[in-house]
Amino acid sequence: MKDQKEDIIPVHCPCCRTRLWIDPKSGTVIKSEKAAKEKSSLEDLLAKEKKKQEVMDQRFASTAELARKKKEEARDKFSKAFGSLDNKDDSE
């Protein structure tokens, strides 16, 4: 008879780097072991934060531009509405 440990298949996940031990007969995970997180250097962290800040600045600028355009459109519609009321008052 085979040893039960020989039947268990170790699997390494390439995405999350978790190591799994699977029983091929039942298909269940016997054991899982998460990989240790890599520690980033200070330069890497600063670069990531700078990139985040740039993205946030771009989003803020585009949101501000969109708000400005909506305000202009509302002002134009308001002016046209009052202009048409003034024209009606003049014709009566």
Q: Is residue 43 domain-shared with residue 29, that is, in the same domain?
A: no
Instruction: Render each residue's pLDDT in the chain as its tens digit; 92 residues.
Output: 455 556 888 998 888 888 989 988 888 888 888 877 777 788 989 999 999 999 999 999 999 999 999 999 999 999 998 887 766 656 55
Q: Is residue 25 domain-shared with residue 47, that is, in the same domain?
A: no
Q: Is residue 50 domain-shared with residue 76, that is, in the same domain?
A: yes
Collect all residues with Cβ–Cβ distance below 8 Å to 28 and sequence separation of at least 6: 22
Q: Is residue 54 domain-shared with residue 88, that is, in the same domain?
A: yes
Q: Is residue 77 domain-shared with residue 57, that is, in the same domain?
A: yes
Domain extent at residue 23: 4-33
Q: Is residue 26 domain-shared with residue 55, that is, in the same domain?
A: no
Q: Is residue 49 domain-shared with residue 9, that is, in the same domain?
A: no
Per residue, the 3-state secondary structure of the chain, as one string, reads CCCHHHHCEEEECCCCCCEEEECCCCCCEEEEECCCCCCCCHHHHHHHHHHHHHHHHHHHHHHHHHHHHHHHHHHHHHHHHHHHHHHHHHHC
Q: Is residue 49 domain-shared with residue 69, that is, in the same domain?
A: yes
Token digits for 41? 């250097």
Q: Is residue 28 domain-shared with residue 45, that is, in the same domain?
A: no
Q: Is residue 18 domain-shared with residue 55, that is, in the same domain?
A: no
51 in Cβ contact with 57 (< 8 Å)? no
Domain count, the chain: 2
Phi, psi of 33 (to 5 degrees): -135, 115
